[in-house]
Amino acid sequence: MRWWKAVGLAGAAGVVATGVVVVRAERRRRAYTPDQVREQLHVRFAQATAAEAVAETAAPVPQARSGIRGRVRRLFRRAAG
């Protein structure tokens, strides 16, 4: 058998294996009922909003202004004060 035949067979085997993985994943996805999907989405949304609420209640960390705008504002503050 020539080397290019072996490469071709390996490529075909790779395509078949990829197709098997895709079909298997699609079967798992379609196995859920619409109510199960909706329930899972509600759970994820509740987790996201809870994490957002925790982030909002935490004290914001003041950040130093960088770039040209921050430098210009500091310069005017020094000149005015």
pLDDT tens digit sequence for 21-38: 999 988 888 888 889 989
- Would 63 be classed as within a structural domain? no
Q: How many domains does the chain have?
A: 1
79: Cβ contacts below 8 Å, ≥ 6 apart? none
Whole-number pLDDT of residue 60: 59
- Would 11 be classed as within a structural domain? yes
Task: Give the structural domain span for 35.
Answer: 3-58
Helices and strands of the chain, counted as H and E runs: 3, 0
Name the band, by pLDDT with cuts 50, 70 and 90, for residue 58.
low
* Residue appearing with tokens 């290019």: 4
Q: CB of 42 within 8 A of CB of 50?
A: no
Reported pTM: 0.37
- Would 13 be classed as within a structural domain? yes
